[in-house]
Chains A and B, each alone.
Chain A
């Protein structure tokens, strides 16, 4: 169905949308994630969390919401998603660092609304995994109804996608491959692509540095020709761009850590990293984070040793760990449930489980001063659920971003009938009987 039609029917009730000022949410069990649980109230002012406490009183100018004993938790951060993007893979070349997800953000992708409805307030929208060095990613807030520009998480550190293993080797041939062959075809070749790219980047960096030095000395020199492919890689070398690397097997994880160390930079996150638990010590020492699936496995051979204890083991090894969806591969609406699974697999505590989808991914994206926990001064990105959010029986009732209600379950339910009516009316219009009769030769 038409996206725009859908979009237009999901406009919020004015009473909630207009309250850009202050909200006072009382009678809530507040799971701060970083500072324990507070039973009481939370005050939102100017898009930020202004106060959390057991004995707060409602300011006169604030709109009061009674949580009726329900739960508040921080907005969920998905460190790896492909929601809200019109294109994912520039897979024709092995190094596509010049392309940017930000150029193809699609704010009317219904996946944004669905993720939002499940409590996801921030997503790291990544390039795909078709090539070794992919495109530049975009951290967005799930501001459904806003423009592409307004979705962007202003101030988030830029990132880039890398990918290793089966996906990038796929164009190197194989039984079912019928396209144009593309290097690399092996994990050996994948390492080579990474090293060659950073060898080039380093040379480009030296050229630029030398230009600056000579310029400073007062020499008259021509600037080096700009290279949009190598520029983001120089940013990686200089620690100004975060590397999010899709990987599966322990050998390739170790390879990438060592390749990065050779060139003097750090991998920010190992995405998926299904075998990260096998080299958790090495990952911790390098300082990379791991952003993994809850329990996906066996869909390909490199996922055969994937275990649902991966997150727990990585955490125990001191690795900054999160759970992601790779949406639409798995759905954002199950991210809370994915976190709950670590209560069984590895027996994490509630706070540890929740941290996997809130403060930890926020830290991985280096936006933890803004989001990821309920603390005074942080963005008011808040999820309100009827039951404990780690119970599979819980439902998300409201979601706030920057202190505004972006999802309201009651309202969503009210709008369903109206949407069905509009759909029916459109279908009626399509029926031949409803069309004006067209006589032959009338036009």
Chain B
């Protein structure tokens, strides 16, 4: 088995150009439609051309026998710091958090290091695209949807500004981080600080609206403001605010804020969902799940917290996606989804949240997230359920091009296996 994998890796490594091909005998999991066993899937250029049980293979397409194997759309990580961080404890390798409270003009896309060792490591689990999210202050910057293969960040960008990252002032008494400093504060003190900061946030949005008005009727000497300019797609409802809101007060605040400012939001990292399930569904507010490897929030919380959050959201009809957050975690994203399935989430809902569901939230479903004729050929070929560690990811294609599943870890493995 290992030898087969290696051989496959060598073959893919040799193919650095896109080649038209067809998978034959494969079970196709389109996500947008029921699975089709023993089918043919045709890829022409960077697109999925067609698939079906009786699909003919056009001339000039290399045939790949895939009997007993499964093809799925590549998985999407909906909250990562991929390409922005290399070694957790080494500040010099961090490009996630800028100084300042309002930085909508910052773009993760341009700081995305295509040479990061974390990119091929993430791919090995079947992830083909990742929403790269900044943080820091109240508005951290623009999150970009990036393909996990390419020579430059330009080539790798799927959507330069899929979301605007935001964190509202906190009302938590136990806090860490720059906005508050570490430690425990009295609620009165926290509340006073919170009101001040909320005032600043409102003011910033007022400035942005005033700028929007000035821009519509520019007076002589009107000078573009890069920061406020970056807010225009948010105010126009084109780009959603991705608001990090783990606990009840933060979630309530974020929803009220969206209402008042009339902006589109996606909630990220939500933990205390119980009071909001109906409202989130009704208002069609999508959610990025928290890192499911976190401990329960309170000592007396259920042992299933937060692993049962996805099942609750699904039951209520809330759209959601999975996010890794931590630089170490992207490769565990499918395993997190499996944990959610273990805690009551239907398997097909989990698969959808990792693919098409995520693509819909980030406005890229016209190109990625499902197997449909005309969509980009971001594919994974597996020997089983992609959520279980027992399964091996055999091959990957991004934009129709075979992508190596080798990485720092497989290289060290092969190298030191020889020393045994």
Taken together as a complex, chains A and B put the C-alpha atoms of A238 and B276 apart, in Å, by: 62
**For B412, what are the chain A residues with a Cβ–Cβ distance below 8 Å?**
277, 305, 307, 309
From A304, A309, A328, A390, give the contact of B390 (CB < 8 A). Answer: A390
**For B296, what are the chain A residues with a Cβ–Cβ distance below 8 Å?**
114
Does B180 interact with chain A (Cβ within 8 Å)? no
**For B342, what are the chain A residues with a Cβ–Cβ distance below 8 Å?**
392-395
Does A113 interact with chain B (Cβ within 8 Å)? yes
Contact pattern, A 343-386, Cβ under 8 Å of B = 1, otherwise 0: 11111000000000000000000000000000000000000000
Instruction: Knowing A328-B295, A340-B390, A344-B391 are in contact, say whether A298-B327 is a contact too (CB < 8 A).
Output: yes
Contact pattern, B 384-420, Cβ under 8 Å of A = 1, otherwise 0: 0001111110000000000000001110110011011
> Does the CB pair A307–B299 fall under 8 Å?
no
Interface size on B, residues (CB 8 A): 42
Q: Which of B89, B299, B327 has the most CB of A within 10 A?
A: B299
> Does the CB pair B302–A281 fall under 8 Å?
no
Q: Which of B87, B303, B335 has the most CB of A within 10 A?
A: B303
Does A137 interact with chain B (Cβ within 8 Å)? no
**For A197, what are the chain B residues with a Cβ–Cβ distance below 8 Å?**
none
Taken together as a complex, chains A and B put the C-alpha atoms of A265 and B299 apart, in Å, by: 42
Contact pattern, A 153-179, Cβ under 8 Å of B = 1, otherwise 0: 000000000000010000000000000
Does B24 interact with chain A (Cβ within 8 Å)? no
From B2, B339, B392, give the contact of A337 (CB < 8 A). Answer: B339
* CB proximity of B386 to chain A, nearest CB, Å: 11
Instruction: Knowing A114-B296, A393-B338 are in contact, say whether A416-B302 is a contact too (CB < 8 A).
Output: yes
A-B contact count (CB 8 A): 119
Contact pattern, B 1-42, Cβ under 8 Å of A = 1, otherwise 0: 110000000000000000000000000000000000000000
Q: Main SS of the interface on chain B?
A: loop
Taken together as a complex, chains A and B put the C-alpha atoms of A55 and B403 apart, in Å, by: 53
**For B410, what are the chain A residues with a Cβ–Cβ distance below 8 Å?**
309
* CB proximity of A290 to chain B, nearest CB, Å: 14
**For B300, what are the chain A residues with a Cβ–Cβ distance below 8 Å?**
1-2, 5-6, 9, 110, 419, 423
Q: Which of B298, B392, B416 has the most CB of A within 10 A?
A: B416
From A304, A334, A344, A392, give the contact of B392 (CB < 8 A). Answer: A344
Taken together as a complex, chains A and B put the C-alpha atoms of A443 and B331 apart, in Å, by: 63
Q: Which of A278, A280, A308, A331 has the most CB of B within 10 A?
A: A308
From A309, A392, A393, give the contact of B409 (CB < 8 A). Answer: A309
**For A307, what are the chain B residues with a Cβ–Cβ distance below 8 Å?**
408-409, 412-413
From A1, A304, A345, give the contact of B87 (CB < 8 A). Answer: A304
* CB proximity of B384 to chain A, nearest CB, Å: 11
Taken together as a complex, chains A and B put the C-alpha atoms of A277 and B331 apart, in Å, by: 21
> Does the CB pair A317–B409 fall under 8 Å?
no
> Does the CB pair A3–B295 fall under 8 Å?
no
> Does the CB pair A317–B303 fall under 8 Å?
no
From A299, A316, A334, give the contact of B328 (CB < 8 A). Answer: A299
Does B90 interact with chain A (Cβ within 8 Å)? yes
Contact pattern, B 182-204, Cβ under 8 Å of A = 1, otherwise 0: 00000000000000000000000
Does A213 interact with chain B (Cβ within 8 Å)? no
* CB proximity of A383 to chain B, nearest CB, Å: 15
**For B343, what are the chain A residues with a Cβ–Cβ distance below 8 Å?**
395
> Does the CB pair B341–A392 fall under 8 Å?
yes
From B87, B331, B416, B419, give the contact of A301 (CB < 8 A). Answer: B87
- Supply 7 further A-B pairs (C-beta < 8 A) apart from A277-B412, A299-B89, A392-B388: A114-B295, A298-B118, A307-B412, A346-B413, A390-B390, A412-B303, A416-B302
Residues of B within 8 A of A (CB): 1-2, 86-90, 117-118, 293, 295-296, 298-300, 302-303, 327-328, 331-332, 335, 338-339, 341-343, 387-392, 408-410, 412-413, 416-417, 419-420
> What 6 A-B pairs have minimum CB-CB distances, sorted nearest first?
A392-B338, A299-B88, A300-B89, A1-B300, A309-B413, A307-B409
Residues of A within 8 A of B (CB): 1-3, 5-6, 9, 110, 113-114, 117, 166, 277-278, 280-281, 295-301, 304-305, 307-309, 313, 316-317, 328, 330-331, 333-334, 337, 340-341, 343-347, 390-395, 412, 416, 419, 423
